[in-house]
A and B are shown apart, each in its own frame.
Chain A
Amino acid sequence: MSEQINKQLSEAWQRFILALPYTWLLIFFLAPFAIILKISVADPILAQPPFTPSFGDAGELQISADNYVFLLTDKLYAITYLKSVMMAAIATLFCLAIGFPIAYGIARSTPGTRNILLLLIVLPFWISFLLRVYAWMGLLNNYGVINNFLMWLGVIEQPIPMMYTDFAIYIGLVYSYLPFMILPLYATLERMNLDLVEAAQDLGATPAQAFWNITWPLARPGVIAGSLLVFIPATGEYVIPYLLGGPDSLLIGRVLFDEFFINRDWPLASSVAVVLLVLVVVPIVILQRNQARDAEQAT
Chain B
Amino acid sequence: MTRNSRFVISMLVFGYAFLYIPLLSVVVYSFNDSRLATVWGGFSTRWYGELLKNEQITSALFLSLKIGVTAATLATLFGTIAGIALARFGRFRSRSLFTGLVLSPMVMPEVITGLALLLLFVSLQQLIGWPGQRGFGTITIAHTTFAIAYVAVIVQSRLSAMDESLEEAAMDLGGRPFRVMIDITLPLIAPAMLAGWLLAFTLSLDDLVLASFVSGPGGSTLPMLIFSKVKLGVTPDINALATLIIVFISVGVLIAWSIARRMGKDSSG
By a beta-carbon cutoff of 8 Å, the part of chain A in contact with chain B is: 2-3, 6, 9-10, 13-14, 17-18, 20-22, 24-33, 35-36, 39, 49, 98-99, 101-102, 104-106, 108-110, 115, 117, 119-124, 126-132, 134-139, 141, 143-145, 148, 175, 178, 194, 198, 228-229, 232-233, 235-239, 242-243, 253, 256-257, 260, 266, 269-270, 273, 276-277, 280, 284, 287-288, 295, 299
Contact check, A287 vs B19: say whether CB atoms are below 8 A apart.
Answer: no
Q: What per-residue 1/0 map shows which CB atoms of B73-98 lie under 8 Å from chain A?
A: 00001110110010001001000001
Contact check, B12 vs A128: say whether CB atoms are below 8 A apart.
Answer: no
* In the complex, chain B residues 164-201 whose Cβ is within 8 Å of any chain A Cβ: 171-172, 174, 176-178, 181
Chain A residues near B252 (CB, 8 Å)? 126
Q: Does B116 contact A (CB under 8 A)?
A: yes
Contact check, B107 vs A105: say whether CB atoms are below 8 A apart.
Answer: no
The number of chain B residues touching the other chain, given as a range, is 35 or more
Q: Select which of A25, A144, A236 is within 8 A of B145 by beta carbon.
A: A25
With A119-B257, A127-B249 already in contact, the answer to whether A138 and B104 are too (CB < 8 A) is: no
- CB nearest to A257 among chain B residues: B111
Smallest beta-carbon distance A294→chain B, Å: 12
With A102-B12, A238-B110, A253-B109 already in contact, the answer to whether A32 and B120 are too (CB < 8 A) is: yes
Q: Does B133 contact A (CB under 8 A)?
A: no
Contact check, B120 vs A122: say whether CB atoms are below 8 A apart.
Answer: no
Chain B residues near A137 (CB, 8 Å)? 230, 233-234
State the CA gap A141–B26 with chains docked (Å).
13
With A138-B26, A233-B107, A288-B99 already in contact, the answer to whether A127 and B116 are too (CB < 8 A) is: no
Contact check, B81 vs A20: say whether CB atoms are below 8 A apart.
Answer: yes
Contact check, A105 vs B12: say whether CB atoms are below 8 A apart.
Answer: yes
By a beta-carbon cutoff of 8 Å, the part of chain B in contact with chain A is: 1-4, 7-9, 11-12, 14-16, 18-23, 25-26, 29, 37-39, 77-79, 81-82, 85, 89, 92, 98-105, 107-113, 115-117, 119-120, 122-123, 126, 141-142, 144-145, 148, 160, 171-172, 174, 176-178, 181, 202, 205-206, 208-209, 212, 223, 226-227, 230-231, 233-234, 238-239, 242, 245-246, 249-250, 252-254, 257, 261
Contact check, A276 vs B109: say whether CB atoms are below 8 A apart.
Answer: yes
From A102, A229, A284, residue with most partner B Cβ within 10 Å: A102
Contact check, B246 vs A127: say whether CB atoms are below 8 A apart.
Answer: yes
From B205, B206, B252, residue with most partner A Cβ within 10 Å: B206
Contact check, A236 vs B77: say whether CB atoms are below 8 A apart.
Answer: no
Contact check, B104 vs A284: say whether CB atoms are below 8 A apart.
Answer: yes
- CB nearest to B14 among chain A residues: A98
- CB nearest to A88 among chain B residues: B109
Smallest beta-carbon distance A132→chain B, Å: 7
- CB nearest to A33 among chain B residues: B116
